């Protein structure tokens, strides 16, 4: 976490948390979600749901994305957030808290640029590949599936079957802190 963020938290310890305004998609892209966007539908559907979704505005400002990445963490309830100065901005997740990028040299890093070691792999009913690391579970970026197929063919990963709907409970993360809060959780 940035020192300036820690200082702001110490100076203003009681700033209310923010829900629903930031989303992370399955490709590791961040989205800002204003009131109108939130009213149009959730950021993502939970497994088994149908209906419209509303992502919002795709963030493209590199310095802002880097700031979010450096200050991205989870609370004790498995809700992921971006600590924006004294305010905690909870993140709506399209799939998982992490999106993995595979490198040509066989290494893996998170959408925030953190290198990780793969501890296990999972394949859901729709053919999405997830990797388990010390950071947690994440989905492999769709653009990296050729590299992922190579890793499986070479025997570096042997994916176990998993139902997508079980991932959040199994790995202890909350896909929608906003909905949890609205439900009284």
In this predicted structure, the answer to whether residue 183 has a pLDDT above a threshold of 90 is no
pLDDT digit string, tens, across residues 87-111: 999 999 999 999 999 999 999 999 9
CA–CA separation, 100 vs 88, rounded Å?
24
In this predicted structure, the answer to whether residue 130 has a pLDDT above a threshold of 80 is yes
What pLDDT is recorded for position 184? 84
What pLDDT is recorded for position 10? 73
Structure tokens at 36: 């109108």
Give the pLDDT band (50/70/90) at residue 12.
low
Structure tokens at 74: 């989870």
What pLDDT is recorded for position 85? 86
Residues in the chain: 185
The residues near 37 (Cβ < 8 Å, ≥ 6 apart) are 54, 55, 56, 57
Mean pLDDT rounded to a whole number for the chain: 94
Closest among 132, 131, 185, 173 to 46, alpha carbons compared: 173
What pLDDT is recorded for position 9? 65
What is the arithmetic mean of pLDDT over 43-66? 95
Give the pLDDT band (50/70/90) at residue 154.
very high
What is the arithmetic mean of pLDDT over 45-60? 94
pLDDT digit string, tens, across residues 162-180: 999 999 999 999 999 999 9
Give the pLDDT band (50/70/90) at residue 114.
very high
């Amino acid at each position: 976490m940035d020192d300036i963020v820690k200082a702001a938290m110490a100076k203003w310890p009681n700033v209310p948390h923010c829900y629903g305004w930031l989303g992370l998609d399955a490709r590791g892209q961040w989205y800002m979600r204003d009131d109108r966007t939130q009213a149009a539908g959730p950021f993502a559907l939970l497994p088994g749901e149908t209906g419209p979704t509303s992502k919002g505005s795709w963030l493209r400002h590199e310095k802002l994305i880097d700031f979010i990445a450096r200050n991205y963490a989870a609370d004790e309830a498995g809700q992921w957030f971006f600590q924006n100065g004294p305010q905690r901005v909870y993140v709506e997740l399209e799939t998982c808290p992490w999106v993995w990028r595979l490198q040509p040299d066989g290494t893996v890093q998170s959408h925030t640029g953190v290198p990780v070691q793969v501890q296990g792999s999972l394949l859901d009913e729709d053919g999405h590949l997830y990797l388990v690391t010390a950071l947690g579970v994440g989905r492999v970026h769709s653009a990296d599936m050729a590299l992922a197929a190579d890793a499986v063919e070479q025997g570096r990963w042997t994916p176990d079957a998993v139902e997508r709907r079980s991932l959040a409970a199994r790995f202890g993360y909350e896909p929608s802190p906003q909905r949890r809060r609205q439900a009284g959780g």
